[in-house]
Structure 1
Amino acid sequence: MSALFPALADGTSGDVRHRPALRFGDRELTYGALASAAGATAERIAGAGRVAVWATPTLETAVGVVAALLAGVPAVPLNPRTGERELAHIAGDSAPRLVLAGADDELPPALAGLERIDVRVAGAGDAPVGGGGLPAEPGPEAPALIVYTSGTTGPPKGAVLPRRAITATLDALADAWAWTGDDVLVQALPLFHVHGLILGVLGPLRRGGSVRHLGRFSAEGVGRELGTGGTMLFGVPTMYHRLAEAVGGDPELARSLSGARLLVSGSAALPVHDHERLFAATGRRVVERYGMTETLMNTSVRVDGEPRPGSVGLPLPGVELRLVEEDGTEITDLDGETVGEIQVRGPNLFTGYLNRPDATAAAFDGDWFRTGDMAVRAPDGQVRIVGRKATDLIKSGGYKIGAGEIENALLEHPQVREAAVTGEPDDDLGERVVAWVVPADPAGPPSGDELADHVAARLAPHKRPRTVRFLDALPRNDMGKIMKRALHG
């Protein structure tokens, strides 16, 4: 059985086989049942070369990915909401031999040419996995997953994630978060991204703990699962925003969140305003971490460290991180103000983009990976993300301005529900700061001057929005990230 999941090796003996491993809604698999179901599928796909997984938020997806890892076969998680053209590109680029799906899943025409294997979990027992059907486990550099990026600047690229990147990240997070087999993780994240799949499913299985997936996020579901044995919650800022909205009027939800051992937010920055609202209602701080598809996790606030809203913490064990100027010069100042691009290196990195040696070469500065994320570092080394280089770094009047800190300031205004900040060309300033605001009361929004003065009073005059535009809602993707390119579209 795979060294990725030590608990599965013991999943057919002793007390381990009866321990809950996966629960999706009212469907559950123990470690014994998971070993049986995943092992049976692994024997069927061994030697397949590469397999696609129709990644619905179900037991079948989790079992299918575990089966691929047991078989030593790279898995390509597919987003069921992907459009036909993009899905055809991913299928053509990754060239899987077959697709794993639930028996009730209806697959789109773009996958019609692939052999289909239905993942069976119903009736999975505690029988041991057949010993003769699985190949020897691949080495640490062997590809485990091929996860496609969002494709904001062109067709999606397949990031090839080796087995050592998964183990390095999950073990580093275990150190930072004191994550053990006694933890019960609650989440409702998509399983075609690294957050929901690698951290949210493979993470608990590597530790020998369990995961309860809600299927669809709701504050009620979070409260119920944390109130009945859940110890950890993984979510994205949109989820924590909704919890912050609900918790003030829901004492039971407040109690459940207060009782959790660890609340983790990722995939985008959690606004400071939501940090403070959740802390005021529960007495618990949300921990932020920072990563991306190509690097898995780079930094995190430690569970035993000082909580600091807006910080994504320190580099994880084994990860090296630096900030650089546009010309590649390393920034050595730890002043909390000097903005630079994050570059990282370590065992958590991918091996390259599938079929794209040009893109792989462009993504690296020597052996340092160019993240495209802009940040500052505090005197103690803590990292604070200020935005993406392509969309969130605004050069105005000779200043480098990070959009994230302006967004946080806007969200402190009582009449602002949501906010995004971008830059637009300006003949005088080079770029001007533009605020896109969803008002708390659409019938009575604050004035643009009021919001600009609000920002200037909290940050600096050169960071004030020069233009304020009001919207009914901000465009977001499946992970809740604001799609800023669509704002100018």
Structure 2
Amino acid sequence: MPPLFPALESPSDQVALQFGDRSLTYAELGAVAGALADRISGAGRVAVWATPALETAVAVVAALRAGVAAVPLNPKSGEKELGHILSDSTPSLVLAAPGDELPLPLRDLERIDVAAAPPGGGTPAPSPSVGAEDPALIVYTSGTTGPPKGAVIPRRAIATTLDALADAWQWTGDDVLVHALPLFHVHGLVLGILGPLRRGGSVRHLGRFGTEGVARELNGGATMLFGVPTMYHRIAQALTEEPELAKALGRARLLVSGSAALPVHDHERITAATGRRVIERYGMTETLMNTSVRADGEARAGTVGVPLPGVELRLMEEDGSPITSYDSETVGEIQVRGPNLFTGYLNRPDATEAAFTTDGWFRTGDMAVRDPDGYVRIVGRKATDLIKSGGYKIGAGEIENALLEHPGVREAAVTGEPDEDLGERIVAWVVPADPQSPPTAEELADHVAARLAPHKRPRVVHYLSALPRNDMGKIMKRALNRD
């Protein structure tokens, strides 16, 4: 298989990675990653203590150059979860930044401290010959329905996804990406670090998200910003008081949001202040990226665009029949097929078999509708966001967007709960903009009914001080207290 990072084969003085005031050029990255690759060649699998630091990027690039599979570890994982991941993936060693204190489950592993300074003298050995189906990463899922499963991501999936995004986003080596995402999942690591390196461009990682850092880098020549809805929500809130931020976002070539739906009202606030539209894409650990709004297409708020080159996508009814009409209303489960898919769950042939249909389509568990022109609108997860009420199939996402359009609502989540008459009733979980004077349940129900349809109005409203969220900003609906 051709190299994943052609720019490392002809190293230059162009900056490849920048984390704060630390950086590596392509020549320096090639040297330091090549030296580490020599040390870990033949190691089987290696764990990577994936802090938001230069060493994490170097470690993963080195593993890919050595032809060994990297297992990124979330530094915030508890000891029980780490123990499960380690016993499941059986890495032979762990790569970490010098000085990082590792938790107990990792202390029995051989440790190699990752140097982020180029070694003196010598030329690293060339990258070994590797195949397109060879494992590149083993990324563990969130484990919402049991212990996390290790998705085995082959080199083929990384290359095809990043090349498809280059086509959709007109992404080139002239682009400079800014992001502050964690580096233990596909959004922050594959798109945010490996993406720029495959294009021969640059990435500036902020370490920790802040609107000042975003403004500084975009005003300093960066062209793209990757973020999650929580980040863009904070940006939208700050725009009125930070004129430099609005100016910086206006200069960006591309603003991309992912990992969860970006509320329509945040889209509108950002566009009104900057003249730029945020585009959304849709992917998951097992599939990398499936769809995106194209840079040369319509940035339609509330959609995740169209299937990427090489990706097949269909919506399926519960009885297994395909939905053939694109009417913006009919809800079905997204199934995908293409070279972007993982090869299976590590040590879980049962789960792998259950994840695919007999004709080779991956069951995503995400529910969506399609517009007449093929744009995909995700309405939620099948397990938590599809509500069957009064004979209707209702996606929680559209109700959440409607609630967020109410000036008295700061955050909102929607779930279903059993109802003897309706089957399920719609329940809203609301963080009010003014806790001392929240909008009434009747007011919110009327607000939703007027924007969507009467059968989509919430029947119950709970008021919270904050919604439970994970590291990526996704609302953890299973953690909502329904007592």
| Fold in common (TM above 0.5) | yes
Give the secondary-structure state (helix, strand or coil) at the position aligned to 1:248: coil
Equivalent runs, 1:305-320 vs 2, <5 Å: 305-320=297-312
Q: In structure 1, give the amino acid aligned to 2:259.
A: S
Instruction: Give 2:20's aligned residue.
Output: 25
Whole-angstrom CA distance in 1 between matches of 2:118 and 2:71: 26
Q: Is the 8 A contact 2:31 2:118 kept in 1?
A: no
RMSD: 1.1
SS of match in other structure, 1:44 = helix
| d(CA) in 2 for partners of 1:135, 1:459 | 56
1:336 maps onto 2:328 in alignment: yes
1:172-194 Cα offsets, whole Å, 9 max, x none, are 00000000000000000000010
Deviations 1:420-454 (A, max 9, x none): 00000001100000000000011111101000100
Q: Which residue of 2 aligns with 1:446?
A: 439
Aligned to 2:395: 402
CA shift digits 1:144-182 (9 cap, x unpaired):
000000000000000000000000000000000000000
Distance 1:469 1:79, change over 3 A: same
Q: SS at the partner of 2:472?
A: coil
| TM-aligned CA deviation for residue 327 of structure 1 | 1.3
Q: Label 1:468 to 1:128 Cα distance change in 2 as closer, same or farther (>3 A).
A: farther
Amino acid in the other structure paired with 2:245: L
Answer yes or no: is 1:160 the counterpart of 2:152.
Answer: yes
Q: Is the 8 A contact 1:289 1:313 kept in 2?
A: yes
Kept in 2, the 8 Å contact 1:2–1:9? The answer is no
How far 1:270 moved relative to its partner? 0.3
CA distance in 2, matches of 1:137, 1:67: 14
Kindly report which structure 2 residues correspond to 1:87-486, keeping only aligned pairs within 5 A, or say none: 87-124=82-119, 129-131=123-125, 136-366=128-358, 367-486=360-479
In structure 2, stretches of 5+ residues that fail to align are none
- CA drift at 1:488: 3.6
SS at match of 2:146: coil
8 Å CA contact 1:54, 1:79 repeated in 2: yes
Corresponding position of 1:487:
480
Could you tell me how far 1:86 is from its partner in structure 2? Answer: 0.5
Q: Measure how far apart 1:2 and its partner are.
A: 6.6
Corresponding residue SS for 2:204: strand
Paired residue secondary structure (1:330): coil
State how many pairs are aligned.
481
Q: 1:340 to 1:203 in 2, by over 3 A?
A: same
Q: Secondary structure at 2:83's aligned position in 1?
A: helix
State the identity as a percent.
77
Distance 1:75 1:137 in 2: 17
Q: How far 1:56 sits from its partner (Å)?
A: 0.2
For 2:227 and 2:15, how far apart are their aligned partners in 1?
21
SS at match of 2:281: strand
Give the C-alpha shift of residue 138 in structure 1.
1.0
Picking from 51, 56, 59, the partner of 1:56 is 51
Once the two structures are superposed, residues 32-65 of structure 1 have per-residue CA deviations (whole angstroms, 9 ceiling, x without a partner) of 1100110000000000000000000000000000
Q: Does the residue aligned with 1:105 lie in a helix, a strand or coil? A: coil
Q: CA deviation at 1:249?
A: 1.8
